[in-house]
Amino acid sequence: MKLKSGWLNAILIAVGLSTILVVTGLPSQASAQERKVSVPPSELPAVIRKAIEEAFPNGRIIRIQKEVEGEDPGQYDVDIRSGSKEYEVEISPEGNVIESKERAPAETAPAPEQEKKWTDSFALENCTFSSIGRNRFFILVPGNQLVLQSRTEKVVITVLDKTRKIGGVKTRVVEEREEQNGELKEVSRNFFAVCREHGDVFYL
């Protein structure tokens, strides 16, 4: 199936960076219903930006997500690089830093000059594939939904409670709905599986 969405292509490239993938345990039913949207730095509320600047005066924002559904709606999850370290920061809608956690060395991406941009070997022979799992960039859990939106385009990626066997591998069905100027342009269903051993997500 040909992927036309630039959003999903970008996500797949990120998933391929196996040097910074982290395997975590399976979430509870409550976390499966969590929905977050990506927020560009230019649209960050002043109170949230102030909290970041006070906590990390010399920090650089890597990624911002806002929880719109789940246990903490309105909360901002921000990834920040400060010096040679990276932090995961949770900020309340009122601008209070709820939690700031430094990533362990295994979770932190290498410095740009040492960064490995492409993975050329996935060691498939060592993989036990599963239709449910997650890593730092991709949550393959039924009910999880990611919304990517600009002024004119919107892409909603939903992990469905459906599976399909492809080439002997049980995969999870992920639906992508693409809109432009409020009009539905494309609906596609893609198939993913996660390697339990190292957390890489594969598109079949």
CA separation for the pair 106, 110 (Å, rounded): 9
Of 24, 33, 70, nearest in space to 161 by CA: 33
**Token couple for 57:** 């005066």
pLDDT digits over 144-176, tens only?
A: 999 999 989 999 999 999 999 998 899 999 999
Q: State pTM to two decimals.
A: 0.45
How much is the pLDDT for 131?
92
Collect all residues with Cβ–Cβ distance below 8 Å to 78 and sequence separation of at least 6. 48, 52, 61, 63, 64, 65, 88, 89, 90, 91
CA separation for the pair 188, 173 (Å, rounded): 10
How much is the pLDDT for 159?
94
CA separation for the pair 34, 23 (Å, rounded): 19
> Which domains occur in the chain, in start order?
6-34+122-203 (no CATH), 38-104 (3.10.450.360)
Task: Answer with the residue of higher pLDDT: 114 or 178.
Answer: 178
